[in-house]
Amino acid sequence: MGIFLPTEENLKKASAVLKNGGIIAYPTETFYGLGTNPLDESAVKRLFDIKGRDFDKPVSILVKDLNALSLVAEEIPPAAERLIKRFWPGPLTIVFRAKKNIPLILTANTGRIGVRVSSSPIAKRLLGIIDMPLTATSANPSGEKSPVTAEEVEIYFRDKVDMILDGGKLQGKVGSTIIDATTGRDLECIREGDIPFAVILEYCKNLS
């Protein structure tokens, strides 16, 4: 393991790590995240293991753009389309019905998956190179403070992750807001984060 600047060469190295079932840490617009291939069940199990995460807690993922969303989401409800148009890229995770190829461990057996498009330039470049989804759980052991520097990630995990991409000190105070768009009724706020739920509701109200 080591800390690497996000040069083109190092992003390609990170891509090779991910495609071989490895785990990396990388910056998002909120905190550092732990990334692995969400379609590789053994890699996802290793992710849960190093975080000490309970299997009843799902893990969200990043996709590079709206086209890639169709690879992981069974459908995109109209309410979700409106949120995507306004808040993506950005710190808004939207919960969709997961496609059958998504490992059940990732969804905590719910059949639903949280997805977002990150506004982080480094995350966007990485996703463009790997051309596949990426897990987006925070790079901390469960119950510990979410890290805002690569050095904090290194202290947490030492040699348990394969590579850390250094995006400098992040300004994250809270994580992404999580909205469930699968109910077909009113939007449900699972977790209020960087985007206040009141802002989301006001935006949707003005559309009606």
Residue 153 is part of a domain; what is its CATH number? 3.90.870.10
Band (208; pLDDT cuts 50, 70, 90): low
In this prediction, residue 97 carries a pLDDT of 96
Total domains present in the chain: 1
Instruction: Give the mean pLDDT of 54-75.
Output: 95
Sign, CA dihedral 142-56-26-168, equals negative
Q: Model pTM? A: 0.94
Q: Which residue has the higher pLDDT, 171 or 40?
A: 40
First to last CA, the chain: 51
Angle between helices 197-207 and 78-87 (to 10 degrees): 110
Band (185; pLDDT cuts 50, 70, 90): low
Give the separation between CA 185 and CA 194, rounded to whole angstroms. 23
pLDDT digits (tens, 9 = 90+) for 71-117: 999 999 988 999 999 999 999 999 999 999 899 999 999 999 999 99
Closest of 71, 179, 85, 170 to residue 121, by C-alpha? 170
Domain housing 114: 3-207
In this prediction, residue 171 carries a pLDDT of 87
pLDDT digits (tens, 9 = 90+) for 100-159: 989 999 999 999 999 999 999 999 999 999 989 999 999 999 999 999 999 999 999 999
Residue 199 CB neighbour total at 10 angstroms: 12
β-pair type (137-138, 134-135): unpaired
Band (204; pLDDT cuts 50, 70, 90): confident
Instruction: Give the mean pLDDT of 41-69.
Output: 96
Mean pLDDT score of the chain, rounded to an integer?
94
115: exposed, middle or buried (C-beta count within 10 Å: 0-12, 13-18, 19+)?
buried
Spell out a b/e string for 151-176, using b for 16 or more CB atoms within 10 Å of the CB, else e.
ebbbebbeeebbbbbbbeebebeebb
Encoded amino acid at 200, one letter: I
Residue 64 near residue 40 (C-beta atoms within 8 A): no
In this prediction, residue 137 carries a pLDDT of 96
Give the separation between CA 76 and CA 129, rounded to whole angstroms. 25
